[in-house]
Amino acid sequence: MYASGRFGYVYVALSAVLFAASGTAAKYLFLHGVTPYQLVQIRTAIASAFLLAWLAVTDRASLRIAPQSLPRLILLGFVLAATMFAYFYAISRIPVAAAILLQYQSPVLVAAYALLFSRERHSVKTLAAVAGSCIGCYLAVGAYTLDLLSLNGAGIAGGLAAAAFLTAYTVLSESALRRHKPWTVLVYASLFSAAACNLLYAPFEGLARSYDAVQWFWVLFIGIAGTAVSLGLYNKGLRLIRATHASITATLQPIAAAAIAFFFLGEAMSPWQIAGVFLVVASITLLQLGKDNP
């Protein structure tokens, strides 16, 4: 495999770790009264402002796009906002483990889309990695302790919607990245995502709340590291490896969340959860064997 392909996996893995850390920070803010929609509004507003300022200083040429590219990027922005909101809505209605499990069924949907619409033939190892990552995610988040059928129906619908929107975001991003740089795609997706959030809800209500210094730290962390940097790394990885492979690698997010909970919150992991961690890591490693990347 080309070295660039391996960097693609590294970028997506780092993105997953940052997203996991922002998930832990999000739970802290939820406990202090921030609502799921306010958090989406906050993170998209901060991420878009940060990206716009950063590119204006470092690479202003990246901000220039052809007018015909706008409809696709507007759609991508709305899908990004919908992905975040559906995930946080699910977390607010059902256990976090169940929400994560439902959202990270997206590798199956991405693989199905590639097969049905892009006519991409999947190797046996890719199909094995899809199955392994989904089963590993199920074990790692401890979903085997949940009675999924008894959970809140709206929460389950939110989790499934999050998986569908995450799939759409991955597919649309892969297409946009054929024409634009990763950071160009992300800055416009973030801008239109922030616009959607502030049109559909009271403008900047999340940022108008009163926060103490610690809360502001986590707000900025989620907006910059957990959104702008995390999604930027995901886009960079998506430009180097296939969408199916990127979505499988992204299942490291619940693994990273479990590791953070273990090391910083003292939450012990059961043998089944540890087995799930190893299964996800093994699935991602399997993808990197041979010559299955573009």
pLDDT digits 0-9 by tens, 119-169: 777 788 888 888 888 888 878 777 777 676 677 778 888 888 998 998 999
pLDDT score, position 148: 64
Residue ranges of the chain with per-residue pLDDT less than 50:
1-2, 293-294
Q: Any idea where the domains of the chain sit in the sequence? A: 3-287
Whole-angstrom Cα Rg for the chain: 18
Count of H helices and E strands in the chain? 14, 0
Which residues have CB under 8 Å from 265's CB, separation 6+? 24
pLDDT score, position 2: 45
pLDDT score, position 293: 47
pTM value surpassing 0.85: no
pLDDT score, position 267: 64
pLDDT score, position 75: 94
pLDDT score, position 225: 93
CA max distance for the chain = 54
Looking at 177-270, list the stretches that DSSP marks H as alpha helix, in order from N- to C-terminal side.
182-200, 205-208, 213-223, 230-238, 243-249, 252-265
pLDDT score, position 264: 67
pLDDT score, position 291: 55
d(CA 66, CA 260): 42
Asked whether 111 and 244 are in contact (CB, 8 A), the reply is: yes
pLDDT score, position 48: 92
pLDDT score, position 266: 64
DSSP conformational letter for 61: G
